[in-house]
Amino acid sequence: MRDRVLVFDTTLRDGEQSPGASMTINDKLMLARQLERLNVDVIEAGFPISSEGDFESVKRIAKEAKTATIAGLARAGKMDIDRCWEAVRFAKKPRIHVFIATSDIHLKYKLKKTRKEVLKAARDAVRYAKSLCPDVEFSAEDATRSDLRFLGEVVQAVIGEGADVVNIPDTVGYTFPTEYGATIRYLRENVPNIREAVLSVHCHNDLGLAVANSLSAIQNGARQVECTVNGIGERAGNASLEEIVMALRTRKDLFSIDTRVNSRELYPSSQMVTNLTGMKVQANKAIVGKNAFAHEAGIHQDGMIKEKLTYEILRPETVGIKESKLIMGKHSGRHALRKKYLELGFKLSDAELEKAYVLFKKVADKKKEVFDEDLIVTVRDALRIAPPVYKLKNIQSTAGNQVIATATVALEKEGRLSRDSAIGDGPVDSALKAIDRITGVEGKLVEYSVHSVTGGRDAVGEVFMKVDFGKASFIGKAASLDIVDASARAYLDAVNKMIHYKMTLDTHNGNARRKKAPAARKKIAAV
């Protein structure tokens, strides 16, 4: 048996069947390139006969793919198979994936065929596909609700016709891990020619068991797993690629078998799928969710600071996330607070930490999450620093589809007016660049959202943004009738916080140095 699990990604086919997840040809090409970086073995690029767009994207992906096998889906009929071959034939490694349902429910209500007719259709389809393409996969749709002996008969017949891969889909997400494992084992033990093909699994998540079922199948001998990035797909979705890959890798002791996936590309792939489909993953989604590596409880944060193994079974870097996050909230303790201040550049003495901790707890009682800026305000208040701020006096911007976006901004600081202009990618970008030119502080927008506070065409827009300045990031908020004005004010809000931060840091570090100096003098005197 193979000593590796092949990863068959169907984000572009079954994943795209998610309600509201359709992608353009260019989106699909971009995702296919990312899937190759992820190093999946097979990319199911689409269902060529289903539309002109699907046909074109499968063909373009087939032409461009460098390493992965490119599969196209086809029903068990000549027309589908021909169309599929026309699209995948350009690939270095093409595959035709034919399917027909085998459950009595599908036979009676959907296909209106007898078992004998389905068996023949499956055979004919594989034989014909094999006459065109060297690599053919057969799927027995609704396999988990099919009669096991009939399923075995179909599997044996299609392997006899040359199927290289036989897939046993849990089309409606009905099976359970023990049951699915037993099905795979049954096929391995009872189909005489089973070793001539790779056994594949394809699970849907209707009962939330798609990943568990896939893993159970692998434990019982399946060697290809069909899955999607972020688990998107029909209804409740397909088995999530990132969860399967990391489960196998994290529990080598249970599986002693792995995939070839480059796990550092998991998070970038997840982000790309979110951005292309607009389908966000839930915060607590395993592996790629916003909270997957975030720790808030004081006991957990303390454990994490001492040894990450205490509360993390895998490192975020291995899936392409920069690092685990300590979320500062009412459950956080002194250890986490000291670490957070150190990250922000404040080396607090025990007495200072104690003062900051009392203030921090007051803020944390009122807010769900305490941001960097809240912590800085706490220290700033203790040091009584009131730095000057920039105020937006006026802003003028020009943009359109035929002109280069330009903005001119006037800012006031301590009664003095400064004015500058910049060009950029759109009116907001040029306004922010003009602000950077005046303040000398440059931030990177990591989050940006606008929502209307009131209704109608003359609605007031509220802008929220998170700006990264390297060492710390700050939130900026502002509202205005004009989106560019609101964006500039929100950005300036974050820039002012950054300036406060720098001044507070300089003052604190200056104080700390002055306190240390007498001790240093004493040492010199003693020498």
Residues interacting with ligand KIV, by CB under 6 A?
A: 14, 99, 139, 141, 167, 169, 171, 202, 204
Query: Between 144 and 439, whose beta carbon lies closer to ligand KIV?
Result: 144
Q: Are 94 and 135 contacting, i.e. CB atoms less than 8 angstroms apart? A: yes
Query: Between 39 and 50, whose beta carbon lies closer to ligand KIV?
Result: 50
Query: Between 41 and 373, whose beta carbon lies closer to Zn ion?
Result: 41
Residue of minimal Cβ distance to Zn ion: 14
Give the number of other CB atoms < 10 A from CB of residue 440.
8
Query: Between 147 and 343, whose beta carbon lies closer to ligand KIV?
Result: 147
Query: Between 139 and 487, whose beta carbon lies closer to ligand KIV?
Result: 139
Q: Write out the two tokens for 2.
A: 């193979």
Q: Are 183 and 144 contacting, i.e. CB atoms less than 8 angstroms apart? A: yes
> Segment contacting Zn ion (CB under 5 A): 10-18, 43-51, 412-420, 502-510?
10-18
Task: Look at residue 139 and give the partner it binds from ligand KIV, Zn ion, none, a contact being a CB closer than 5 to 8 Å depending on partner kind.
Answer: ligand KIV
Query: What 3-state DSSP class applies to 397?
Result: strand
Task: Look at residue 69 and give the partner it binds from Zn ion, ligand KIV, none, a contact being a CB closer than 5 to 8 Å depending on partner kind.
Answer: none
Q: Which residues are bridge partners to 165 per DSSP?
A: 137, 198
Give the residue from 253, 246, 252 showing the smallest Cα distance to 231: 246
Q: In this structure, is the dihedral angle defined by the CA atoms of residues 506, 508, 509 and 510, taken in order, positive or negative?
A: positive
- State the minimum distance, in angstroms, from the CB of residue 44 to Zn ion: 10
CA 177 to chain centre: 26
- State the minimum distance, in angstroms, from the CB of residue 228 to Zn ion: 9
- State the minimum distance, in angstroms, from the CB of residue 16 to ligand KIV: 12
Separation CA 304–CA 4 (nearest Å): 33
Q: Is 416 exposed, middle or buried (0-12, 13-18, 19+ CB in 10 A)?
A: exposed
7, 9, 11, 14: residue in contact with Zn ion (rule CB under 5 A)? 14
- State the minimum distance, in angstroms, from the CB of residue 226 to ligand KIV: 7
Task: Look at residue 99 and give the partner it binds from Zn ion, ligand KIV, none, a contact being a CB closer than 5 to 8 Å depending on partner kind.
Answer: ligand KIV
CA 422 to chain centre: 34
- State the minimum distance, in angstroms, from the CB of residue 132 to ligand KIV: 19
Q: Are 74 and 83 contacting, i.e. CB atoms less than 8 angstroms apart? A: yes
- State the minimum distance, in angstroms, from the CB of residue 228 to ligand KIV: 10
- State the minimum distance, in angstroms, from the CB of residue 136 to Zn ion: 18
CA 83 to chain centre: 33
Query: Between 99 and 491, whose beta carbon lies closer to ligand KIV?
Result: 99
Q: How many residues bind Zn ion (CB under 5 A)?
A: 1
Which phi and psi (to 5°) does residue 134 adopt? -70, -20
Determine what percent of the chain falls in helix, strand and coil, rounding each to the nearest 5. 50, 20, 30
Task: Look at residue 144 and give the partner it binds from ligand KIV, Zn ion, none, a contact being a CB closer than 5 to 8 Å depending on partner kind.
Answer: none
Query: Between 169 and 427, whose beta carbon lies closer to ligand KIV?
Result: 169
Separation CA 231–CA 436 (nearest Å): 41
Q: Are strands 136-141 and 165-170 parallel, antiparallel or unpaired?
A: parallel
44 near Zn ion (CB under 5 A): no
Query: Between 242 and 296, whose beta carbon lies closer to Zn ion?
Result: 242
Q: Which residues bind Zn ion (CB under 5 A)?
A: 14
